[in-house]
Structure 1
Amino acid sequence: MSTTANDDSVARVARATAEGNLSESAARNIRRWLTESPFAPHRDRLRADIEQGRWQELDNAFFAVLEFGTGGRRGRMYPIGTNVLNERTIAESARGLADYVTSRKGSDAERSCVIARDARRNSKEFAECCARVLAGAGFTVYLFPEPRSTPLLSFAVRHLGCDGGIMITASHNPPSDNGFKCYAGTGGQVIPPDDSGIIACVEAVSEREIPEVAMEQGIQEGTIRLVGEEVDRAFIAAVVAQSVSDARNASIVYTPMHGVGESACGEALRAAGFAKVNVLESQRQPDPDFSNVPGHVANPEVPRTLEPAIEEARRTGADLVIASDPDADRIGVALPVGPSSAGAWTTLTGNQIGALLAAFVVEQCQKAGGLRPDHYMVTTLVSTPMTRSIAESAGIGMEDDLLVGFKWIGQRIDRAGPGNFLFGFEESHGYLRGTHVRDKDAAVAALLFAELVASLKDRGRTVLDYLDELYRKHGHYGEALINKVYEGRTGLEKIRSLMAALREDPPQQIGGLAVTQVDDYGRHESRRPGSSAPPTPLPEPSGDLLIFTLDAPGTRFAARPSGTEPKIKFYLFARTETSHLTDGAGLDAAKAETAQRLERMAEDIHRYIASKVPEETA
């Protein structure tokens, strides 16, 4: 009967492919799942989907193999499929990591891995699946049975001396998603050549059955060890040690956005001595649907997600709103615009938060006499150039030539020397001070921003005053972000088509300014449009990133596909000189000039996208 059912399903798949309802790549992967023994446990669900004619769902689930991006493996969950997260693809990921570590250390060597997870749907099941698989591969597994933050996992890898770590999370993605975030023994996310080595092992594993050890058996035998409080205490102590100010007079509304952040950000703020921390009750409990977050996408980059916390801050007269994303590795902040908390509030961009914290850390270290010329800060190629000006004015180093992804910042810290690392961030709201982790840390960021607010409050100043002072000193830097979302197989094709167009037929003008240079980090070449001169070599880093320099100082834009979401991102940068200004009205005019330039750039970029991808789905 099973053979007959399989034959019927294979025939239905063939017809769907011939009729154009299913791609060849999806059909190929589906046939494997129908006929090969490793996938037998999932066959009943697969047959049911085929009988119901769920071709769109099956095509999206099977048309490709979900790859590692800037944050590992992340995507939609679906019970079956190669391009989605389910127990089979999670098991393949865990066994691939295990096999790669074993190939490097040897099967007779002691091998260990620590596993944590957020509060998303299926995160507990996926984490336990990883534990069973790694124990089956001969590893000692340290498992957090309760939800924890991503930076805690990074810390735990180093603290426990493990060969690697796994974090089950999709960060700020929609409720439909989950992910497998893979860490090396450094506590940083895996980087080349380890990432490609792991992928190769995952591909090899996909051809065979994956042995597991039952949870109860692993715990009883000691191959699966449950961890918690001791690591938690050590992590919080390491975060509090990054304090740069004794100021504590700040009233804070904090929201974990239904994620795990209270155990990290909330605990760190309280342990550091901030007595007035009001955790937003409506978003306090972990909830995989993010029920009380506007739009149900808990992303602190999006201003409207902070609106409930801002309302609470108005009601209670707070000085500051801090929000962390569901796995508590990034923050968003909001501040009152005027002297009264009852009035208007504003949110800050990731670049503004990064520049503020960079300047504050530098200032505080200078006051303490602890700033040295060999100190350095780290950012990415698509983060605000204002940080370089801050570093240069302080006489310290600046490492700002990195691709998107905090794993590159972690790698640079290890290369350049952890002892001299001062501060690092990327524009997508990820920040780090200290060497207790090699990833962005919302707890450290929350502590530093709370100290910034409290320190300025003691001096009778506000964060917005401080930001304006930075603009007067360094110039007004403005940034904008365009996200174009393209779902599924056709969406992937649109993203690739748009990146190809940007390379082969780039815009000649954007925002009324000529494109004077194109830096292509995929082809490792720098080109001058309209010039007969051959391209000049562009050194590392290597990635699918294009940077277009425009004919105005400090003005450029960048384009890259996201490594973790089905979207292409455009990063816009502009700067207006302010050294000649003498009053606040002049600064307001400079801000308006920057904003207008960014707006004109955005309009032209949207027009260019529409001309190259006319049937876009945003």
Structure 2
Amino acid sequence: MGTIDPTIQDKINQWLSPEYDSETVAAVRALIDQDAQTELIDSFYKDLEFGTGGLRGIMGVGSNRINKYSLGKATQGLANYLKSIYKDTPIKVAIAYDSRNNSQNFGRLVADVFSANDIQVYLFDELRPTPLLSFAIRHFGCQSGVMLTASHNPKEYNGYKAYWNDGCQITAPHDTNIIDEVNKIHSVSAIKFTANPANIIAVGDEIDLLYMEANQALSLHPEAVEAQKDLKIVYSPIHGTGITLVPAMLKAWGFTNVHIVQEQATPDGNFPTVIYPNPEEEDAMAMATQKGAALDADLVLATDPDADRVGVAVKNTEGNFQLLNGNQIGALLTHYVLESKKQADSLRPTDYIVKTIVTTELIRQIANNYQVTSYETLTGFKFIGEQITKIGDQGKYLVGGEESYGFLVGDLVRDKDAANSCAFLAEMTAFYKTQGKSLFDVLLALYQKYGFYQEKLVSLTKKGKAGAEEIKEMMVRLRQNPPLTLAGISVTEIKDYQNQVATNLKTGEKIAIDLPVSDVLQFITVDGDVISARPSGTEPKIKFYCSVKEPLPSIADYKEVAEKLDQKVNQIMQDII
């Protein structure tokens, strides 16, 4: 075998020691015998860290992989941290898992480690969506929780989303403090793998019922649902956990004509009908939209494996199904909630909405129109959840979301919630259908009123250690040599969230950014275009977000303006990447 960095080699040697089980040792030896240097380096060059979505990676052997030991170490570190914070309080955690390969076994493993640390565990006895875990943490009064999932990543991945006592994914300072505790564990012998069954309580569908009842109480127009109860809805869980909750939720709200995409109804971690189980992808939505077209449905919905993201397709002005992007879905939900509250005369001065820094400005414009405060957070729904917790009783959260297809109406949980979103999307469709409008009609009306916002996301995948270094170099290059024009349009402002400063390129004025440090750059043009560059916190990718805007004089101008904006976006992306 060729030369491997001594630090990496030391880690490889450690995993060959007797403290690791024979199966693990054999897998490492197999990689060595195959001279699989790239895989060995990628598997051992670092330890998995908490990102915007927790612990996430490819399953396999190694410190940079999801396996018994990386999950055990993370859980032991979290257990140690919980005990240091809650010294005189009995500690409770909740654990759930999705349909991914090994998720159920990993869920049991995590429960075993917590129980061995004398922590009471509420373990779901069957796969359930992520938002239900957030709800359960709050319901049971837990101090923490863990969801075993890699969200919408490819089948090779799994992950570990850690939650705090508010049902929100762990944020600062707890995230780094937990990592510190994890890093103190230098030996497998420090991980308590031997379960104490007395500390593990099984959770059944009783939580489902409580969750659905609480959500139904949030309904804004039950009369519209009653009038359109036969609304034709197509739904796909894309082989994930949504099948356990979304159909039941829609039924509980009163919808009687829901059609499941049967080819994708069975939970399956191999996701056999799609390349990526991500409702952001046209391929993942294809079966659902085809069924929608065949049935002449009113609404097409699909959720990702852990059912916290939702994809939507609606009929456009030509009667063909068109996928909505996350910005469009978020804008529609925001408008529907705020307009409904206004009509009911129930908007209050302390009401607010939340969006992330890479999510469309259209949402802020809608909130401003209703004189509702809008807050902006870093990318990752955990920051939205954190904002809800921080404001507490000083305000009322109504709706929020992020461009990556994650939304939440009401504050029953502290994470994005596809089941909750599906119910409101169906109700919204029913409400507008009673007025003779489709969701696409409403979207075009929003564009006429506030401006036609067109967004595009380009993700560049850069795998392994070499890829991580390439992404880092790309961000360094953009900081050292930022573009001064994009698509021939002058850049007037650069926001650097890592250095926490916004610079006006015309005046040289610098303004502090009042958000936590994050490796994100934003370039704002004289036209108000916003282009963001951000390494993903959960995938081996660097992401470029572009948002441009033009007036939409009339509905008849939609296609012409859309084409113009498309050309502009494509030119901007060519200039920056």
Q: Say whether the fold is shared (TM-score over 0.5).
A: yes
Is 2:566 the partner of 1:595? yes
Q: Which runs of 5+ in 2 are unaligned?
A: none
Equivalent position of 2:460 in the other structure: 484
Stretch of structure 1 that moved more, 163-172 or 23-32? 23-32
What letter corresponds to residue 577 of structure 1 in structure 2? P
Is 2:292 the partner of 1:310? no
Structure 2 Cα separation of the partners of residues 492 and 309 of structure 1: 35
Structure 1 Cα separation of the partners of residues 77 and 217 of structure 2: 36
- What are the superposed Cα offsets for residues 552-572 of structure 1, whole Å, 9 maximum, x if unpaired? 1x2120111000000000110
Alignment check: 8 A CA contact 2:109 2:193 kept: no
What letter corresponds to residue 490 of structure 1 in structure 2? A
Aligned length: 571
Equivalent position of 2:472 in the other structure: 496
User: What is the percent sequence identity of the aligned residues?
Assistant: 38
Structure 1 Cα separation of the partners of residues 513 and 18 of structure 2: 46
Structure 2 Cα separation of the partners of residues 309 and 558 of structure 1: 31
The counterpart of 2:549, out of the listed 575, 592, 603, is 575
- 1:10-409 matches, cutoff 5 A: 16-17=2-3, 22-35=4-17, 37=19, 42-78=24-60, 80-106=61-87, 109-212=89-192, 214=194, 218-219=196-197, 222-246=198-222, 247-248=224-225, 249=228, 250-293=231-274, 295=275, 297-338=276-317, 344-400=320-376, 402-409=377-384
Q: Which runs of 5+ in 1 are unaligned?
A: 1-14, 607-618
- What are the superposed Cα offsets for residues 204-231 of structure 1, whole Å, 9 maximum, x if unpaired? 124341454655xx33xx2111111221
- What are the superposed Cα offsets for residues 532-583 of structure 1, whole Å, 9 maximum, x if unpaired? x47443332321111111121x2120111000000000110111134xx3x3
Q: 1:498 to 1:390 in 2, by over 3 A?
A: same
Structure 2 Cα separation of the partners of residues 375 and 334 of structure 1: 30
Structure 2 Cα separation of the partners of residues 210 and 235 of structure 1: 37
- What are the superposed Cα offsets for residues 210-259 of structure 1, whole Å, 9 maximum, x if unpaired? 454655xx33xx21111112212111112222211122221100000000
- What is the TM-score of this pair, normalised by structure 2? 0.95
Q: 1:492 to 1:258 in 2, by over 3 A?
A: same
What letter corresponds to residue 472 of structure 2 in structure 1? R
- What are the superposed Cα offsets for residues 506-529 of structure 1, whole Å, 9 maximum, x if unpaired? 122211112222111101122345
What letter corresponds to residue 295 of structure 2 in structure 1? T
Q: 1:206 to 1:85 in 2, by over 3 A?
A: farther
What letter corresponds to residue 260 of structure 1 in structure 2? T
Structure 1 Cα separation of the partners of residues 468 and 45 of structure 2: 11
Structure 2 Cα separation of the partners of residues 493 and 24 of structure 1: 19
Structure 2 Cα separation of the partners of residues 197 and 102 of structure 1: 13
Alignment check: 8 A CA contact 2:76 2:192 kept: no
Structure 2 Cα separation of the partners of residues 131 and 584 of structure 1: 55
SS of the residue 1:575 aligns to: strand
Structure 2 Cα separation of the partners of residues 233 and 408 of structure 1: 28
Q: 1:138 to 1:319 in 2, by over 3 A?
A: same
Stretch of structure 1 that moved more, 202-211 or 243-252? 202-211
Structure 1 Cα separation of the partners of residues 6 and 213 of structure 2: 54
Alignment check: 8 A CA contact 1:115 1:144 kept: yes
Is 2:529 the partner of 1:555? yes
Q: CA deviation at 1:36?
A: 7.5
Structure 1 Cα separation of the partners of residues 279 and 100 of structure 2: 17
Q: CA deviation at 1:381?
A: 0.5
Structure 1 Cα separation of the partners of residues 338 and 158 of structure 2: 37
Q: 1:259 to 1:503 in 2, by over 3 A?
A: same
Q: CA RMSD in A?
A: 1.8
SS of the residue 1:417 aligns to: helix
Structure 1 Cα separation of the partners of residues 509 and 19 of structure 2: 54
Is 2:445 the partner of 1:469? yes
What letter corresponds to residue 545 of structure 1 in structure 2? V
Q: 1:534 to 1:176 in 2, by over 3 A?
A: same
Q: CA deviation at 1:592?
A: 3.3
Structure 2 Cα separation of the partners of residues 231 and 416 of structure 1: 27
Alignment check: 8 A CA contact 1:377 1:397 kept: yes
What letter corresponds to residue 605 of structure 1 in structure 2? I
Q: 1:507 to 1:272 in 2, by over 3 A?
A: same
Structure 1 Cα separation of the partners of residues 316 and 510 of structure 2: 48
Structure 2 Cα separation of the partners of residues 541 and 422 of structure 1: 24
SS of the residue 1:471 aligns to: helix
What letter corresponds to residue 83 of structure 1 in structure 2? N
Structure 2 Cα separation of the partners of residues 282 and 505 of structure 1: 49
Structure 2 Cα separation of the partners of residues 240 and 416 of structure 1: 24
SS of the residue 2:268 aligns to: coil
The counterpart of 2:415, out of the listed 439, 442, 445, is 439
Alignment check: 8 A CA contact 1:71 1:181 kept: yes
The counterpart of 2:430, out of the listed 444, 454, 462, is 454
Between structure 1 and structure 2, the one with the greater Rg is 1
What letter corresponds to residue 9 of structure 2 in structure 1? A
Q: CA deviation at 1:202?
A: 0.9
Structure 2 Cα separation of the partners of residues 492 and 213 of structure 1: 32
SS of the residue 2:16 aligns to: helix
Stretch of structure 1 that moved more, 410-419 or 231-240? 410-419
Structure 1 Cα separation of the partners of residues 317 and 442 of structure 2: 14
Stretch of structure 1 that moved more, 410-419 or 556-565? 410-419
